[in-house]
Amino acid sequence: MSFTLTDFNYIDSHCHFFPPQIFKSIWKFFELPDKEGNPQGWNINYKLTTDELIETLKNHRVKYFTTYNYAHKMGVAEYINEWTHELVSKTKQALPFGCVWPDDTNRVEYVKKLFDEYKFLGIKLQLLVQNFYPYDER
């Protein structure tokens, strides 16, 4: 029996969604050259709006997708989480994940809200960006 890619539906377990202004900053950062003129990260192939990204996933037979995002500095995690909650409340295909910054003084409160009130499925940690380790006691 043979199959083609169109014979299946998919779950994309590694999608990033951010508020538009944060997405633009991330794209800019990864494409800025380092001291040798090389990109710091990689080229971003899909510089699209949130709605366009969701439509692209649908067009590729993706039925569900994660909302992986991460806080890149202190004080932005709660804002990103609220934005993500708004996105998933109107997007049934979205599997909600939140973010946390280890030095936020209100991190316990907003993480509790993610799970208790918003029913998020998990938290995305981006250790290289956030510069901490999983065994960090914070």
Question: For 26-47, how does the pLDDT look when each residue is reduced to its tens digit (9 = 90+)?
Answer: 888 888 888 898 877 777 888 9
pLDDT of residue 46: 84
Does any domain span residue 136?
Answer: no
Query: Rounded to whole angstroms, how far apart are CA atoms 98 and 113?
Result: 10
State the Cα angle at 85 between 83 and 28, rounded to 5°: 35
Q: Is residue 2 part of a domain?
A: no
* 122: β partners: 97
CATH for 36? 3.20.20.140
Q: How many domains does the chain have?
A: 1
Q: Six-digit token pair at 69?
A: 């995002």
Q: Is residue 104 part of a domain?
A: yes
Q: Is the pLDDT of residue 95 over 90?
A: yes
Q: Is residue 3 part of a domain?
A: no
Judge contact between 40 and 104, C-beta under 8 A.
no
Does any domain span residue 52? yes
Residue 128: what pLDDT?
78
Q: Which domain holds residue 14?
A: 9-130
CA–CA gap between residue 27 and residue 95 (Å, rounded): 23
Q: Note whether residue 49 is domain-resident.
A: yes
To 5 degrees, how large is the angle CA 25–CA 112–CA 118? 75
Q: What is the mean pLDDT of residues 70-99?
A: 97
Predicted local distance difference test score (pLDDT) of residue 13 = 94
State the average pLDDT over residues 126-130. Answer: 81
> What confidence tier does 126 reach under pLDDT thresholds 50, 70, 90?
confident
- Confidence at residue 119, expressed as pLDDT on a 0 to 100 scale: 98
- pLDDT beyond 90 at 115: yes
Read off the pLDDT band of 118 (50, 70, 90): very high
